Amino acid sequence: MLLTRSLLVTAVAASLLAGCGSAQDGAAPASTPPSAPAVAKDDALAAKVPPAIASTGKLRVGSNVQNPPNNFYAQDGKTPMGSEVDLANAIAAKLGLKTEYSDMVFSSLITSLQSGRIDVTMAAMNDTAERQQKIDFVDYFTSGITIMVQKDNPAGIKGPDDLCGKSVAVNLGTSQEAYAKEQSGKCTAAGKGEVTLTVTDSDTGNQNQLRTGRVAAILNDLPTAVYISKTAGDGKYFQVVPGAPINGGPYGIGVNKDNAQLTAAIQGALQALVDDGTYGKILKNWDVEQGAIAKVTVNGK
């Protein structure tokens, strides 16, 4: 999620970085999603939807459906669920539409949007200057680095400064590794103990080290850390340290640059959901309210 799509965590295990994330070893997908708030159509906002889309009654959403808790399949293997799915459904409902999901390779999402195969992308895709050259983004969430600790936080870690003098696990080549090294430098400059890094390419290995106390914390992406904490060991192993994401950046709903009318409609619908509290309820349902935004922007503006 932060800056590159290199840390992809799947049910088989991997890493998650700047483009998206998914289930990790030990974290089983939920079978029943939390109840999503009901959303009524807003006629004024619905009138802004381009006629070509309004006439179909569908908002075609392109995603890479394997990234809990953002978007993944229920145990039936067919039903998309997750915080992004609920948000997409709510936006569509506000506009008088229903979502139609297309599950595709992450790297094909932008080209599929540009070719008109889909209307929007919503796949934990970071809104970056490089991607803005190709598509527009309606920003909907702030992700970033999150500290994950043992259940009940025996090490007493309340924020980055508490990592000084402690052992921390990160994935090789990630923004989490870079941040941990930066934080370690700040610790030593302040006369405190350095952050001792355990750098691996195994999420399962990192989790095992945290469970056994060989490290005091794991640095991971916000949604993934929340999902692992909630599902690994039925929520008995880990927890996330409260606080805003570190080095946070926005996730954006991608829209074709030639479809400014749809961009405006989605921005208006999402802002309405923020204002009436529906947006907050959805994020709270998935325990990711730390990444909530108050103002919906396009391309970060």
Task: Enter the DSSP assignment of 162.
Answer: G
Q: Read off the pLDDT of residues 51-60 as tens digits, 9 standing for 90 and up.
A: 999 999 999 9
Fold of 43-143+249-291: D-Maltodextrin-Binding Protein; domain 2 (3.40.190)
CATH class of 145-246: alpha beta
Work out the angle at residue 270's Cα, subtended by the Cα atoms of residues 264 and 273, and round it to the nearest 5 degrees.
145
Q: Establish whether the linkage from the previous residue to 154 is cis, with ω within 30° of 0.
A: no
Inter-residue contact 48 to 261 (CB < 8 Å): yes
Same fold, 43-143+249-291 and 145-246: yes
Give the whole-angstrom CA distance, residue 90 versus residue 88: 5
Residue-wise pLDDT for 105-147, tens only, equals: 988 999 999 999 999 999 988 898 999 999 999 999 999 899 9
Q: Which of 296, 231, 187, 208 is nearest to 82 (CA)?
A: 231
Mean pLDDT of the region 155-159: 97
Least confident window among 182-191, 198-207, 250-259: 198-207
Q: pLDDT tens digits for 210-239?
A: 999 999 999 988 888 988 998 999 999 999
- What does the domain layout of the chain look like in residue ranges? 43-143+249-291, 145-246
